[in-house]
Amino acid sequence: MDLGPKMYNAVQRLVVDFDDTYSLLKKEMGFGPGDTVVDIGCGTGLIAEHFINDGVRYVGIDTAAERIAFAKELHPQGEFYCEDVRRLSNKLSFRYTLMHGVLHHLSDGNARDILEFLATQDCRSFAALEPERPGPGWQHLLGHLYCVLDRGDFIRSKQGYDGLLPSGKSWRVVRFKRPLVPVNSLVLVADLNAT
């Protein structure tokens, strides 16, 4: 089931505390006012307002045209591209890059391709927010429903996410629980810079 942008936003706002998520990202990634943060797979840009209100240049990238159009309407101060991230290497700084709930929709090969691309782009702080398998949410009705609606075919254990990184790189891991949906989540942070 593909949710339209309005329904997608409603569901996400129900299960994600974007204030807490933004605070956690800021702490773990180390960006601040005047920095640029690139959000790969931004969808409707739900978290954009937090960056913009904090003086951070927010750049959202997604391949879903309908969601990017919706994001541009909601957040005219943001910058949005409906394009493959690898085609934007000459336009953007990828120093601070995030993927919020995206890696578990990508096969190992596709995820590795993007992470290897970022390693060539001076990406010094990359964060991924992802559900973790297994966890108590898989037996809980709301947790199971959330995961079914989310449709991620590649929800991994921490070790599974480790296998996506370029050689010699490692994640700094923070585990957290969503307040309304009992699914364990991970914030995975890495310096992907190739040097």
The answer to whether 182 and 136 are in contact (CB under 8 A) is yes
Residue 142 near residue 180, CB atoms below 8 Å: yes
Residue 182 in this model has a pLDDT that exceeds 60? no
| Number of structural domains the chain divides into | 1
Q: Which domain holds residue 185?
A: 5-190
Mean pLDDT of 15-24: 79
CATH number for the domain harbouring residue 51: 3.40.50.150
List of long-range contacts for 14-20, beta carbons under 8 Å, 24+ apart: 14/180, 15/146, 15/178, 15/180, 15/181, 16/46, 16/178, 17/178, 17/179, 18/46, 18/47, 18/50, 19/50
Q: What is the pTM of this model?
A: 0.85
**Residue 75 belongs to some domain of the structure:** yes
Domain assignment of residue 169, yes or no: yes
pLDDT-wise least confident of 30-34, 35-39, 135-139, 157-161: 135-139
Rounded to a whole number of angstroms, the distance between the first and last alpha carbons of the chain is: 42
pLDDT tens digit sequence for 51-63: 999 999 999 999 9
- Structure confidence by residue, pLDDT tens digits, 118-150: 999 989 899 988 876 545 545 556 556 666 666
Contacts with 146 (C-beta within 8 Å, 6 or more apart), sequence order:
15, 137, 181, 183
111 lies in a domain? yes
Domain for residue 19, yes or no?
yes
- pLDDT at position 57, please? 96
Residue 195 domain-assigned (yes or no) = no
